[in-house]
Amino acid sequence: MTTHNHPNPSARQGPIEVSFTLNGREITVHADPADRLLDTLRHTLGLTGTKEGCGEGECGSCTVSMNGKPVNACLVPTYQTRGSVIETIESIDPETLAAMLESGATQCGACTPGVVLTAAWILKNPDLLNTRTLRELMAGNLCRCTGYDGIIEGIERSLARGDAR
């Protein structure tokens, strides 16, 4: 019988070892090839601040930072984080969240961790606003509650104060 090597971990059986930097710390987890980063964060590592909404890449509730850019953790297989730098809501400067609370951006709070992660990316990269509006940059984060005005106002407050730079 012929055997084949499968370079794609999803074609192999069993957990694989994955090392990455999470909120400033090197960690190693064992993940099945089909495991989503969202589940590894919430269930394996106990970081429940990252929320699941749609589970299909549509709502942005599960947004985390991967190598400095927001990604949907429900769409990222854990093995793809190998060697990367991941940051979650647990690592965020509290000032960024404070501005959201002050502006009434949070009602049920389900979208808030994802909103704050995307906001933190904008705050660290204000040049993004040279080519896109704040509302365009935030379009991947859906909120069922606030109508977005509070979210935009909160980010504008943070930008004005220079939070998280």
Binding interface with ligand FES (CB under 6 A): 52-55, 57-62, 72, 74, 106-112, 143-146
Kindly tell me which of 23 and 107 has the beta carbon lying closer to ligand FES.
107
Write down the least CB distance from residue 90 to ligand FES, Å. Answer: 17
Find all residues with CB under 8 Å of 40, minimum gap 6, and list them. 29, 31, 78
Tokens representing 54 are 């749609």
Rounded distance between C-alpha atoms, residue 67 and residue 131, angstroms: 21
Write down the least CB distance from residue 25 to ligand FES, Å. Answer: 24
Number of residues written out for the chain: 165
Kindly tell me which of 62 and 137 has the beta carbon lying closer to ligand FES.
62
Kindly tell me which of 45 and 75 has the beta carbon lying closer to ligand FES.
75
Kindly tell me which of 11 and 101 has the beta carbon lying closer to ligand FES.
101
Q: How far is CA 156 from each of CA 47, 96, 150, rounded to the nearest angstrom?
A: 28, 11, 10
According to DSSP, residue 133 is labeled: -
Find all residues with CB under 8 Å of 92, minimum gap 6, and list them. 116, 117, 120, 164
Write down the least CB distance from residue 123 to ligand FES, Å. Answer: 19
Kindly tell me which of 18 and 62 has the beta carbon lying closer to ligand FES.
62
Write down the least CB distance from residue 111 to ligand FES, Å. Answer: 3
Tokens representing 66 are 């991967």
Write down the least CB distance from residue 1 to ligand FES, Å. Answer: 41
Q: Which residues are paired to 87 by β-bridges? A: 65
